[in-house]
Amino acid sequence: MSDAESSAKLAFKGQTYDLPVKKGALGPDVIDISKLYAEGKVFTFDPGYTSTASCESRITYIDGDEGILLHRGYPIDQLAENGDFIETCYLLYYGELPNQAQRRSFEHAITHHTMIHEQMSRFFQGFRRDAHPMAVMVAVVGAMSAFYHDSTDIDDPRQREIASHRVIAKLPTIAAMAYKYHIGQPFVYPRNELSYAANFLHMCFAVPCEEYKVNPILARAMDRIFILHADHEQNASTSTVRLAGSSGANPFACIAAGIACLWGPAHGGANEAALKMLGEIGTVDNIPAFIEKVKDKSSNIRLMGFGHRVYKNYDPRAKIMQQTAHEVLSELGVKDDPLLDVARELERVALNDKYFVERKLYPNVDFYSGITLRTLGFPTSMFTVLFALARTVGWISQWKEMIEDPSQRIGRPRQLYNGPLKRDYVSISKRGK
Ligand code: CMC
């Protein structure tokens, strides 16, 4: 770095390039290489983007070494402890916590967008009953662009806002319908008098033949789970949403792309995989043998719910999730949950094992979320759906930020080509039998 620390020097093939250094409000400085190819005909190489900042953002900050997660500057534990999901949505999307009038008006807008176009419900019938609800989510959320044409003009700020309200409001309805369809029960319409989380639980667990009263403690736990998953900086699905949106694609298509990416077991699918893993371990006696298998690279087995690309410390969301798991278990009178015993012991063993310590592998948000969601009554196939529902506000806030950024251009990574050199076409008759 130069004396002024405002630029960095790169010496390459006898040339020196001055690269501007940008300083963020928090976090490492960023070396701006955007003109490097134009000036030096050289690319940088960073598969997995471990050292690459793909955009400038004012939404979420993570300090992975310290285990800090801030939304618009507010620590996640303060939001989870004192706020609620609607407020967190407002904060992520508009940049500030709402005052009372702003909150009323936002909550009203979200509540009054929860119904979906009646014809959309026919999509569900086209799926096999045993379809994974994430497959249904990708399709139905993508189909929103076929129904809400009046909010797909991305150059109109009001249309952007309406589309954003629509996805935040309708995702719980679509998620609950995906669940109801999966288990063969009738769809339950949203209820405007209920809170965001309570309405979701009602749409999932109510049936037309009897009254269903939402337990406020469980609704609070659901709300907190939504807060914990609301946004997480430039992770794989958020980057997917931004990349899809950078071409000018409509917001519903972008959110569907984010859902598709989230589905993978290394990302949102990890909560499902973590619970499956705990079930397979079964009892604490089997933990040592399982840990040995994880450490044996040839087994290709990972400790699911452990490790994170950014956190090299305890994921701050995992602590709150663990506490939420306890609250849900105690409210539902579950005294002994064998899987919770396995999870606690597994965590203790891993945190004291050289393999995990050296690699700075700690529990992430998904380690305890599966236990909590299962106790709330959700089947494992719904876990990633709940993650998608909650992350939608993060995706749409990041999408809006990108569209409103005057420097925004289509995302177009380059590559290190290692394929065959130019060669001439050979007709099939000369390629052998
Ligand atoms: N179990 C065992 N070993 C692991 C694990 C794990 N869960 N995670 C990382 N490692 C090892 C890995 O084998 C490698 O070892 P070595 O240096 O000897 O080759 C080292 O730790 C670094 O791993 P990496 O794969 O380079 O790390 P990454 O940053 O690419 O991967 C991760 C991050 C989250 C994909 C990975 O930790 C993982 O697969 N964890 C399990 C899946 C999981 O819980 N995912 C949820 C993430 S939180 C929710 C979300 O944001 O989506």
Rounded Cα–Cα distance for residues 373 and 63 (Å): 27
The confidence band for 5, taking pLDDT boundaries of 50, 70 and 90, is: low
Q: In what order do the strands lie in the sheet with 74-75?
A: 60-63, 68-71, 74-75
Q: Is the per-residue pLDDT at 114 higher than 90?
A: yes
Q: Are strands 60-63 and 68-71 parallel, antiparallel or unpaired?
A: antiparallel
Q: Is the per-residue pLDDT at 68 higher than 50?
A: yes
Protein residue closest via CA to atom 22 of ligand 1: 359
Give me the pLDDT at residue 432, please. Answer: 93
Question: Hey, how many other C-beta atoms are within 10 angstroms of the C-beta on 99?
Answer: 8
Measuring from each residue's beta carbon to the nearest atom of ligand 1, which residues come in under 6 Å?
Answer: 232, 235, 266-268, 270, 294, 302-309, 359, 361, 364-366
DSSP conformation class of 5: S
Residue 380 buriedness (CB in 10 A; 0-12 / 13-18 / 19+)? middle
Give me the pLDDT at residue 1, please. Answer: 42
Give me the pLDDT at residue 62, please. Answer: 96
Residue-wise pLDDT for 125-183, tens only, equals 999 999 999 999 999 999 999 999 999 999 999 999 999 999 999 999 999 999 999 99
Predicted structure pTM score? 0.92
Rounded Cα–Cα distance for residues 265 and 271 (Å): 8
Pocket test for ligand 1, best of 361, 386, 391 (most atoms within 8 A of CB): 361
Pocket test for ligand 1, best of 241, 290, 309 (most atoms within 8 A of CB): 309
Please choose, from the candidates 263, 283, 281, the residue with its C-alpha nearest in 3D space to the C-alpha of residue 272.
Answer: 263
Give me the pLDDT at residue 203, please. Answer: 98
Q: Is the per-residue pLDDT at 78 higher than 70?
A: yes
Protein residue closest via CA to atom 34 of ligand 1: 308
Lookup: tokens for 112: 């009054």
Q: Is the per-residue pLDDT at 271 higher than 60?
A: yes
Rounded Cα–Cα distance for residues 391 and 257 (Å): 13
Residue-wise pLDDT for 363-413, tens only, equals 998 888 888 999 999 999 999 999 999 999 999 999 999 999 998 999 999
Q: Which of 90-94, 95-99, 246-250, 405-409 shows the lowest per-residue confidence on average (mean pLDDT)?
A: 405-409
Quote the mean pLDDT of the chain: 94
Output the CA 299–ligand 1 centroid distance in Å.
14
Give me the pLDDT at residue 368, please. Answer: 87
Q: What is the DSSP string of 197-252?
A: HHHHHHHHH-BTTB--PPPHHHHHHHHHHHHHTS--SS-HHHHHHHHHHHTT--HH
Q: From the CA of 305, give the closest atom in ligand 1.
A: 44
Output the CA 259–ligand 1 centroid distance in Å.
21
Cβ distance 388 to 17 under 8 Å? no
Lookup: tokens for 121: 């419900």
More confident residue, 271 or 400: 400
Q: From the CA of 294, give the closest atom in ligand 1.
A: 2
Give me the pLDDT at residue 272, please. Answer: 85
Protein residue closest via CA to atom 39 of ligand 1: 266
Catalytic residues: 308, 366
Cβ distance 211 to 137 under 8 Å? no
Cβ distance 59 to 71 under 8 Å? yes
**Average confidence (pLDDT) over 302-327:** 91
Residue-wise pLDDT for 30-56, tens only, equals 999 999 999 999 999 999 999 999 999
Percent of the chain with pLDDT over 90: 89
Q: Which residues contact 55 (CB under 8 A, 6 or more apart)?
A: 234, 242, 402, 405
